């Protein structure tokens, strides 16, 4: 119950060999909160909500696709309202089984996102094999991409953009905190973004808002795929 970052709490669960117990708590608590939000007004029902899970949990019997879908329905929700985010910062023990689990989740209507892409164990080939609907670029790549020394980061994001288009996934840039980085991401036609520049974490969702490109950044080229200035798409937990 001490004050800790979410990363430290996840690390403690992994070190203590209780990642599945931790994720079970997270899922039950999150589904209850999402149900409250959705029931509070019809404007929230079309939204999707993300839940982060570790690969070890996705391979556990408690998170078998059918059982997870049943938990979602018991909360008064549809699997189509839920995106399962799997971090790639943890090594995957049984990839073929994970791939089958992801396919089963997608068949039941869940969205599937690879979180922290580019920062951990997963290669482009592994991500493509999982067929995610969303790829979230890690903040370590996004941060300082707009600086003069950000050419390598820009090249990597361009590769992710091309890669995501080829496999039919949407691309989200995490950790956008200044307009230089935002401009660099807009120029490369990244689909969506999240970060303190766009919105702080909140107890409840807020309506999307538009941010105009700064006058000092005339080189920004809005993409037909999602950026107009920028459209922030908040969720209850991560935006």
Q: What is the pLDDT of residue 46?
A: 87
Query: What pLDDT shows up at residue 90?
Result: 58
Q: Which residues of 183-212 are buried (b: 16+ CB within 10 A; e: fewer)?
A: bbbbbbbbbbbbbebbbeeeeebeeeeebe
pLDDT (0 to 100) of residue 125? 75
Cα–Cα dist 23/10, whole Å: 9
Low-confidence ranges of the chain (pLDDT < 70): 1-3, 88-93, 120-123, 208-239
Strands (E), the chain: 49-53, 82-87, 111-117, 134-137, 170-173, 192-193
**DSSP code for 231:** B
H/E stretch holding 11 reads helix 6-15
* Tally of domains in the chain: 1
239 occurs within a structural domain: no
pLDDT tens-digit map of 29-67: 999 999 999 999 888 888 899 999 888 888 899 999 999
Which of 102, 55, 110 is CA-nearest to residue 82? 110
CATH number of residue 114's parent domain: 3.20.20.450
Within a domain: residue 231?
no
Q: How far apart are CA 53 and CA 40, in angstroms?
A: 26
106 is a domain residue: yes
Range of the domain at 161: 6-193
Q: What is the pLDDT of residue 239?
A: 35
Q: Is 48 domain-assigned?
A: yes
Domain-located, residue 170: yes
């Amino acid at each position: 119950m001490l004050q800790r970052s979410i990363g430290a709490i996840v690390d403690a669960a992994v070190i203590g060999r209780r990642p599945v117990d931790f994720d079970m708590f997270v899922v039950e608590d999150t589904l209850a909160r999402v149900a409250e939000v959705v029931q509070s007004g019809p404007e929230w029902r079309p939204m999707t909500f993300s839940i982060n899970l570790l690969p070890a949990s996705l391979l556990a019997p408690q998170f078998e696709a059918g059982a997870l879908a049943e938990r979602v329905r018991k909360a008064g929700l549809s699997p189509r309202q839920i995106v399962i985010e799997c971090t790639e910062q943890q090594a995957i023990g049984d990839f073929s089984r994970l791939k089958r689990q992801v396919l089963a989740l997608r068949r039941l209507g869940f969205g599937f996102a690879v979180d922290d892409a580019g920062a951990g164990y997963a290669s482009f080939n592994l991500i493509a094999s999982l067929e995610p609907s969303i790829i979230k670029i890690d903040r370590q790549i996004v941060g300082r991409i707009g600086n003069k020394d950000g050419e390598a980061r820009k090249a990597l994001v361009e590769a992710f953009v091309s890669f995501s288009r080829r496999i039919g996934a949407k691309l989200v840039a995490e950790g956008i905190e200044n307009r230089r980085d935002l401009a660099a991401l807009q120029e490369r036609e990244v689909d969506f973004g999240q970060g303190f520049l766009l919105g702080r974490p909140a107890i409840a969702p807020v309506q999307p808002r538009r941010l105009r490109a700064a006058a000092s950044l005339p080189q920004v080229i809005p993409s037909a795929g999602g950026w107009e200035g920028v459209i922030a798409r908040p969720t209850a937990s991560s935006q």
